[in-house]
Structure 1
Amino acid sequence: MRYGRATALAGATVLVAALTACGGGDDDGGDGDAGKTLNVLISANTQYPEEFQAWQKSISDKFKAQTGAEVKFETFASANDELTKIQTSVVSGSGPDVYAVGTTFTPTAYSTGAFVKLGDDEWKKIGGKEKFVPATLGISGPDEQNQVGVPWVSRPFVMAYNTELLKAAGIDKPAATWDELTAQAKQLTTGDQYGLAIAYKDNFDPWKFVWGMSIQAGDPLVDGKTAKLQDPAVQKAYQTYFGWLTNDKVVDPAAIGWTNPQAVAAFAKGKTGYFALTTATAINSLDQGAVKGKWAFTLLPTVPPGATSRPGNGVEAASILSGDNLLVADYSKNKDLAFEYVKLVTDQDQQLDYYKKFGNLPANAAALQSLQSDPKLAPLTEAAKKSVATPFTGAWADIQLALTNVVVQSLPDLAKGPIPAATLDTRIADAQKKAQSSLDRAK
């Protein structure tokens, strides 16, 4: 599977020339790096902002001690910001030296041709491909010979549930299907207690529900060069997702305005049965809340809404293949420094330190192995094994934004009640049009 240099980015048809003109040679490394600055783009951490700032300073200090060079971090706060930064930097041929991008954005980044392809020399610089958990390499590129993404952290998605509330409601085990989850959430909803915590306003969460439910029902959303967002499974997914709030009333109405950290905080207060989309990053928050000692992780349901078992063409997708990859810009004049940074933050000690601070699972194989004795991580390990990669197409970033935009457009309506089927159909049709247009550009 191959992709053209500018297939995913509108207006980027002259990337090859731009990158050739603007790209510089590698630095020499060593003493010549004193006084240089390496620019790194990374997602903002709104859940632990002060700790994240302290981590950036710590890494910068370690990097300076090793190389003599400074690290300057730049952050993005949403998927739109992430895509815009890639677009503008690629077209201009200048910008960050290293990008920490979500795994689902790696295909879009790859399609630009603007990032260093990882050959034997590049992998050797950072400690070898065997340094990493094999599954985390699953979306580094379209195949093993064409990889641009170095796994940094892994974030398989799971649910958190309140063990005390489930027991009090007579629920013996967590839900394994989406319909069971809805039914249990109804049992758990009473007074000021709710069955589910959902982050409807989050920049990254909504599309993952729709993708998971749809692929479990047999619709991959992308079939070759065809978008399938108007499949009935997609409509059913949105109806289920919105219905928890508007029909089933198992979600706090305030959730219309919640981002993921706000949903974590709500669950941590101990008055919610399930937090339906989270990762190990929530551990610190949960252990500092009223729910401490009363929560556990479990797999997200793997049977689509309206069914008691997966159809024959359904996929047991417990999570997207999720995490962050590190990419080195081909235009960078500091490629050697960039790979020294990548090596530093993917080494075992730094990976374990990052996990302890923020809960992101290591992509470093030795670091992850050292955590295997922690029983609360078992569902995360299982989710990682049952994770499914999103389609490796340069159009995917646009597609996930289109899926999220259906929710963004619907937020004002949710406070009024159920969204009319015709309205939802119109919004999905618009998402389909945008998805297909992006796929057509990516051919």
Structure 2
Amino acid sequence: MRSIRAAAVGAVTLSLALAATACGGGSATGGGSNDSPRTLTYWASNQGASIAVDKKVLRPELDKFEKRTGIKVKLEVVPWSDLLNRILTATTSGQGPDVLNIGNTWSASLQATGALLPWDAKNFAKIGGKDRFVGSALGSTGAAGKDPAAVPLYSMAYALYYNKKIFADAGIEQPPATWDELIADGKKIQATGKQALGAEGSNVSENIHHVFVFAKQHGADFFTPDGKADFTGDKVVAAVKQYVDLMAKDKVIPPGNAEYAQNQSVSDFAKGRTAMLLWQSAAANLASQGMDAADYGIAPVPVRSGTPGTGTQVNSMVAGINLAVFKNTDNLDGATRFVNFMTGDEEQRILNKAYSSIPPVRSAQADAAFSTPATTVLKDTLATSAVALPQVADESQFETAVGTAVKELFADAAAGRPVTTASVKAKLTKAQQQMPAK
């Protein structure tokens, strides 16, 4: 296990774009040790279109919890660009919140610091048991064989969003099921004067999410079974090149998108400038930007064969947010009660509706709001064709190193520099060299 300090030094700020989807009142450092037993400090991730939206969503629910329990919750909504570094600083200083949201891809990395409360059978029993949660969500809560470091709160999956009018104007009757079809459709769309596919080439985490899926579709992994970085195999290189080639070779992603960092591709889609968008649970964000749900369709992310499923037909990473507790809280009972509240059926329905995400709690999914055509696509993806990012201690460094390599490759493509198998491998070799030695 890495030391806490090694984890903090090894990870740099990640700009997770979940704020587009759905990713304050508390102090900068929180501090369960400084709060009274009747007070909890909660760091929430920015799930809505803005921090103000999140406060509007969360504050009534936190007030409800206080009314029921007498425990006041100090809320701070932390931007995704700051959240990981804030958490890592808290693990080293011991001055953190009592309860916090984490990106589920960070679970194993933060678990390795030893700062988070393990969710063993005894702790799960306090919130109704482990079997309340969907298996795919539990798969992103920490390293295999260890007690989870967090509890699933919001589940999300990637999908292909497409503008119905732009498709009709281009004579396209249905969304593409394969990447070849997407490229062909993209060229028809560009002939009408619209852009085909939006992307965020400077968004490190978006890059990781996409190239991970491409790698799975090529039957590749970024880590060996014993957790060693393996970024330079032929299949991994081919997968990364295929994604970047959507701009470099196939020309369906605009060159300007190489500079997009967070939420700009969603804005382009909402404003009708781009016909297609690969995003996770985007409905709430699109609505906040004035796009009517009737104006777009949602379909599974394309795969090589056209039929999503298990194995190489993976078309999404298991996206989502987990809820964790710092072990050093002086109000463990209150923190556990808060987790129980937030993962209860009532709150799961309220919060996941607000953020257009899917409840990771099985019983809450029965609500009709999670059975619309759009949410059905997301639920089916999570159930049958999504895979968790590597649950290894060095996952946050992986996101940074490989995501930055893809960012640099997009910059090359936008500048007209060749993106070749050799250049992709060189970037991935450099990324692998940045990983902690084993």
Question: TM-score w.r.t. structure 2 length?
Answer: 0.84
Opposite residue 379 of structure 2, the aligned amino acid is T
Distance in 1, matches of 2:207 and 2:419, equals 19
Give the aligned partner of residue 340 of structure 1.
337
TM-score by length of 1: 0.83
Partner of 2:233 in structure 1? 231
Provide closer, same or farther for how the CA distance between residues 105 and 393 of structure 1 changes in structure 2, counting only shifts above 3 A. Answer: same
Mapped partners of 2:276, 2:372: distance in 1: 21
Give ranges in structure 1 of 5+ residues lacking alignment.
13-22
* Deviation, structure 1 residue 309: 8.0
Q: Do the aligned residues in 1 keep the contact of 2:8 with 2:92 (CA within 8 Å)?
A: no
Within the candidate set 340, 348, 351, 1:351 is matched to: 348
Query: Is 2:137 the partner of 1:136?
Result: yes
3-state SS in 2 of match to 1:390: coil
Contact kept, 8 Å, 1:175 with 1:184, in 2: the verdict is yes
Aligned residue in 1 for 2:301: 300
In the TM superposition, what whole-angstrom CA distance separates every residue of 1:144-192 from its partner, at most 9, and x where no partner exists? Answer: 7622221101011111112333344333432222232222212211354
**Within the alignment, does 1:9 sit opposite 2:7 as a pair?**
yes
Contact 2:136/2:387 (8 A) holds in 1: no
1: CA distance, partners of 2:285 / 2:419: 40
Which letter maps to 2:171? G
Query: What are structure 2's unaligned runs of at least 5 residues?
Result: 11-30
Aligned residues between the structures: 412
Which residue in the other structure is 2:394 paired with?
Answer: 395
Residue 406 (structure 1) aligns with: 405
How far apart in 1 are the matches of 2:93 and 2:176? 49
State how far apart, in whole Å, the 1-side matches of 2:411 and 2:143 are: 39
Larger mean CA deviation between 130-139 and 94-103 belongs to: 130-139
1:216 is matched by which residue type in structure 2?
Q
Evaluate the alpha carbon distance shift between residue 26 and residue 119 of structure 1 in structure 2; reply closer, same or farther with a 3 A threshold. farther
Aligned residue for 1:94, secondary structure, equals coil
Matched, 1:182 2:170: no
Q: Name the residue aligned to 2:165.
A: 164
1:375/1:273 Cα in 2 relative to 1: closer, same or farther (>3 Å)?
same
Identity of aligned residues (%): 27
The match for 1:241 among 236, 243, 248 is: 243
Q: Which residue of 1 aligns with 2:97?
A: 96
2:359 pairs with 358, 362, 373, which one? Answer: 362
1:203 Cα offset (Å): 4.3
Q: State the distance in 2 between where 1:164 and 1:72 align.
A: 45
Q: Structure 2: which amino acid aligns with 1:190?
A: A
- Shift in CA distance, 10/58, structure 1 to aligned 2, threshold 3 Å: closer
Of the three residues 29, 38, 41, the one matched with 1:39 is 41
Which contiguous aligned blocks of 4+ residues in structure 1 show a shift greater than 6 angstroms? Answer: 23-27
Paired position in structure 1 for 2:432: 432
| Residues 108-147 of structure 1 aligned to structure 2 (within 5 Å) | 108-143=109-144, 146-147=147-148
**2:237 and 2:145 mapped to 1: Cα distance?**
36
- Per-residue deviation at 1:65? 1.8
Q: How does 1:139-288 map to 2 (within 5 A)?
A: 139-143=140-144, 146-190=147-191, 192-224=193-225, 225-276=227-278, 278-283=279-284, 285-286=286-287
The change in CA–CA distance for 1:173 and 1:418 in structure 2 (over 3 A counts) is farther
Deviations 1:209-231 (A, max 9, x none): 11111121121111123322112
Letter in 2 for 1:430: K
Q: Of residues 377, 380, 385 in structure 2, which corresponds to 1:379?
A: 377
Asked if structure 2 preserves the Cα contact closer than 8 Å seen for 1:40 and 1:73, the reply is yes
**Displacement, 1:419?**
4.2
- Shift of residue 88 of structure 1? 2.0
Superposed CA RMSD: 3.0
Residues of 1 paired with 2:219 and 2:375: CA distance? 29
**C-alpha contact (below 8 Å) 2:412/2:418 kept by paired residues:** yes
Contact 2:104 2:320 in 1 (8 A): yes
Alpha-carbon distance between aligned partners in 2 of 1:394 and 1:430, rounded to the nearest angstrom: 20
Larger Rg: 1
Contact residue 40 and residue 96 of structure 1 kept, 8 A:
yes
**Structure 1 residues 295 and 93 mapped into 2: Cα distance closer, same or farther (>3 Å)?**
same
Deviates more, 1:282-291 or 1:86-95: 282-291
Q: Deviations over 1:418-440 (max 9, x none)?
A: 444355443221111123x25x2
| Cα distance in 2, alignment partners of residues 379 and 164 from structure 1 | 21
**Inter-partner Cα distance in structure 1 for 2:34 and 2:148:** 20
Greater Cα offset, 251-260 or 204-213 = 251-260
Distance in 2, matches of 1:146 and 1:25, equals: 24
Q: Give the whole-Å Cα distance in 1 for the aligned partners of 2:144 and 2:73.
A: 31
| Inter-partner Cα distance in structure 1 for 2:338 and 2:8 | 31
Displacement after TM superposition at 1:106 (Å) = 0.3
User: Contact (CA 8 Å) 1:162, 1:291: kept in 2 or not?
Assistant: no
